[in-house]
Amino acid sequence: MIEKVQDNKGRGAWSIKWRLTVLYFVSAFGILLISTVILYWVLAKRLVKEDGQFLAAKIGLLREILKEEPNNQDVLREEIEWERAPFRLAKYYARILGPSGNIIIETGKMRSIAPVGIFPKPAGLSEIPSRATRRKSTNGHNLLLMTALAKAGGPNGGIRVLQLALDISHEDELIFDYRKQLVIVLLVGILLSAGIGIFIAGKGLKPVEKMTRTIQHISAHQLHRRLGQSDWPLELNDLAGAFDGMLDRLEDSFNRLSQFSADLAHELRTPINNLIGETEVTLSRERMPGEYREVLESSLEEYSRLSHVIESLLFLARAESPEANVEKKKFDPRKEIEDVIEFYEVMADDKGVKISFAQTSNPDSDFVLNADPTLFRHALSNLVSNALRYTSDGGKVDIGVSRSSTGRVDVWVEDNGIGIEHEHVARIFDRFYRVDSSRSENKSGSGLGLAIVKSIMQLHRGSVSVESEPGKGTKVTLSFPS
């Protein structure tokens, strides 16, 4: 039974093993068939050629004897009765006819095997027949016949007809046997090549099966397992490497997802527990209307925070969906930057932080950003709000824009606040990741701000980078492609 595997569209597909087996079998069988046919053909051709040459040589010899010693019956008889050497399979017959068709001399028993009438027309005096004629004798013998004219020398000279026959029945039997043996060799060859084909294909694909088995055992709980690159044949090494790379990424995503779920639960549980606790305490006895108002106001704060977290998560989910689209426009980012500065100026004043648009080296140059203005403002606001949050009284926040020779536009926000420890820098773009909430005076940060910035930059096929030194400040740069 031929194995078939189902591809993901439900269509049957030939397995590689069977493809290899069939290809191997067809080529091996083809080679075997061609070689046996050639061997057979060469042998058959060679026998026919040798027989023809033998008869032609005999004609030459008889012509010579008739010319030199036409009346020496002994020599003629000796030549005519000449038996082929024992290793020869064909039996030889010769006959000399006189001018009127009378038989002058012939090999014994020739008349019954090769009568005069079955011979072809004779070749001319100086000719040798180009090839022998094949005939079946009356008693079923396979014969090769040659007829030629000869000139007898001496006073009674005249034209003679030489009739030569070779009984090749034995040769034909040999060829028939040989053919049977070739068919047997061919059949055995077919079986062997099919068997060897299956064996070779199976052996060659063993590593693939091993790889499949190893992969089958990798579940969500064993994402740490790897195929490794040393044990596989050369062709599978790259595949194993690519698969391990995919597992690395999957494991990383999986860990982040687990962490994210845990963080999300924690993030929502704390405010909700606070709300429940506060409400229970309030309801434990009668309160004055003012007290109820106070509780409602503080609850509203929690509700706003929860709503902000949910809004941010929804934003991230939408940004990551494949259908997410950005409505890009070409605009000058300086106008948007000034609007954001204006918006945060009051907050900055309250904190005693100076916020300003840093002068660019080429203020007159054109800065054209190809981006979604709303998303750009969202990302920039997140960076400015972070910069203000992590910069203390007397500090400063600068916003700048620059353009590279390739047309890329960089927008950066730099502060001289508390900075970020080196080990946290790679993780601050993860959802809910906060370096240390106790560091910030304002603990309302949800750890989603930079994750949103990263999503926005991914939507624009741009990037975001951070340079930071603890105690000195932080610079976050948004790079938009041209």
Q: Does 418 bind ligand ADP (CB under 6 A)?
A: yes
Tokens 């698969």 sit on residue: 243
34/41 Cα distance (integer angstroms): 10
Choose, by CB under 6 A, the member of 417, 456, 478, 480 that binds ligand ADP: 417
User: Residue 182 half-sphere exposure, CB side, CA atoms within 13 Å?
Assistant: 17
Could you tell me which stretch among 19-27, 97-105, 147-155, 433-441 binds ligand ADP (CB under 6 A)? 433-441
435/283 Cα distance (integer angstroms): 37
Q: CB of 452 within 8 A of CB of 316?
A: yes
Choose, by CB under 6 A, the member of 92, 376, 412, 433 that binds ligand ADP: 433
Could you tell me which stretch among 149-157, 257-265, 302-310, 426-434 binds ligand ADP (CB under 6 A)? 426-434
Q: Does 97 bind ligand ADP (CB under 6 A)?
A: no
Whose Cβ is closer to ligand ADP: residue 94's or residue 476's? 476
* Count of positions (residues) in the chain: 482
Instruction: Give φ, ψ of 73 to 5 degrees.
Output: -60, -30
> Considering only residues 248-277, where is the footprint of ligand ADP by CB under 6 A?
none
Residue 14 Cα to chain centre, angstroms: 15
Choose, by CB under 6 A, the member of 106, 167, 336, 415 that binds ligand ADP: 415
Tokens 């951070």 sit on residue: 466
Number of residues located near ligand ADP, criterion CB under 6 A: 20
Q: Does 390 bind ligand ADP (CB under 6 A)?
A: yes
Nearest distance, CB of residue 418 and ligand ADP, angstroms: 5
369/480 Cα distance (integer angstroms): 7
Q: CB of 447 within 8 A of CB of 432?
A: yes
Q: Does 148 bind ligand ADP (CB under 6 A)?
A: no
Whose Cβ is closer to ligand ADP: residue 333's or residue 419's? 419
Nearest distance, CB of residue 424 and ligand ADP, angstroms: 7
> Considering only residues 436-465, where is the footprint of ligand ADP by CB under 6 A?
445-451
Nearest distance, CB of residue 248 and ligand ADP, angstroms: 24
Choose, by CB under 6 A, the member of 132, 165, 375, 428 that binds ligand ADP: 428
Angle at 219 between CA 215 and CA 221, to 5 degrees: 135
Choose, by CB under 6 A, the member of 62, 411, 420, 464 that binds ligand ADP: 420
Q: Where is 201: in which H helix or E strand?
A: helix 169-216
Whose Cβ is closer to ligand ADP: residue 197's or residue 419's? 419
Choose, by CB under 6 A, the member of 160, 380, 474, 480 that binds ligand ADP: 474
CB-CB neighbours of 95 under 10 Å: 22
Query: Which of 180, 452, 178 minimizes the C-alpha distance to 308?
Result: 452
Residue 71's contacts (CB-CB under 8 Å, 6 or more residues apart) are: 154, 156
Tokens 């995503």 sit on residue: 253
Nearest distance, CB of residue 386 and ligand ADP, angstroms: 4
**Contact residues: ligand ADP, CB under 6 A:** 386-387, 390, 415, 417-420, 428, 433-435, 445-451, 474
